[in-house]
């Protein structure tokens, strides 16, 4: 093992230790809060939009459950320090097709565009409002905004603060959460709490949007 390799491993463990410490500190803080958030405040009835690649079903949660995502802990973040936190999936969408395009990132193949239509109004948490009015944790919104840029979920081995927030709100009930997009100023990101694919089919029907291309 050469000096460069040793230095790389050292930096990895230093970063890993910092991430574990940050997550444990925030989780402990969350568990000590006694405020009452009430119920989700957003009733979502309009379509949401999602881009998928290849033959993936637009209501599939498999990738989210395996790799994790911004507001859900997946198998990649399974960690003995957080053994009390289960893997839980989410279905991610956006408030507009433009927002979905920007949030999708670099194309991963042939893109397909879908609108997701709720079968009934969904009750969603307004995460921005909760952070501003209830969760007075230092730099919390900065952490939430940074998480999609700071993590490649399939390689992220420690839950991010945004994932811990998603787990916290899921336990409070509701169908998911809404948060401002960091990539589209007028758009919002939607994270629908999911148990399995069947639960998503009970919530939505989908329509493919043809003649679209990623800009």
pLDDT 10s digits, 107-160: 677 899 999 999 999 999 999 999 999 999 999 999 999 998 888 999 999 999
pLDDT above 70: residue 215: no
Using the CB atoms, write b or e for 52-90: b if 16+ within 10 Å. Answer: beeeeebbebebbbebbbbbbbbebbebeebeebeebbb
CA dist 113 and 69 (Å) reads 20
Kindly give, in sequence order, each residue whose CB lies less than 8 Å from that of residue 55, ignoring residues fewer than 6 positions away. Answer: none
What is the Cα–Cα distance from 16 to 18, expressed in whole angstroms? Answer: 5
Please report the pLDDT score of residue 6 as a whole number: 52
Angstrom distance (rounded) from CA 60 to CA 90: 9
Distance CA 92, CA 70 (A): 9
pLDDT in tens, 88-120: 999 999 999 999 998 886 667 789 999 999 999
Q: For residue 5, is pLDDT > 70? A: no
């Amino acid at each position: 093992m050469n000096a460069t390799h040793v230095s790389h491993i050292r930096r990895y463990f230093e970063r890993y230790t910092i991430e574990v410490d940050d997550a444990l500190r925030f989780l402990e803080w969350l568990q000590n809060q006694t405020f009452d958030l009430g119920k989700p405040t957003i009733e979502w009835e309009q379509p949401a939009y999602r881009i998928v690649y290849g033959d993936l079903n637009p209501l599939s949660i498999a990738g989210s459950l395996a790799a994790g995502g911004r507001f859900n802990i997946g198998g990649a973040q399974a960690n003995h320090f957080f053994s009390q936190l289960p893997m839980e999936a989410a279905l991610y969408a956006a408030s507009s097709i433009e927002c979905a395009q920007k949030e999708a990132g670099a194309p991963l193949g042939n893109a397909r565009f879908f609108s997701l239509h709720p079968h009934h109004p969904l009750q969603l948490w307004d995460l921005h409002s909760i952070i501003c009015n209830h969760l007075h944790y230092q730099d919390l919104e900065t952490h939430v905004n940074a998480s999609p840029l700071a993590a490649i979920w399939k390689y992220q081995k420690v839950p991010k603060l945004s994932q811990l927030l998603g787990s916290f709100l899921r336990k409070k009930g509701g169908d998911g959460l809404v948060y401002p997009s960091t990539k589209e100023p007028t758009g919002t990101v939607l994270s629908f709490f999911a148990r399995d694919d069947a639960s998503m089919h009970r919530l939505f029907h989908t329509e493919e949007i043809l003649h679209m291309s990623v800009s």
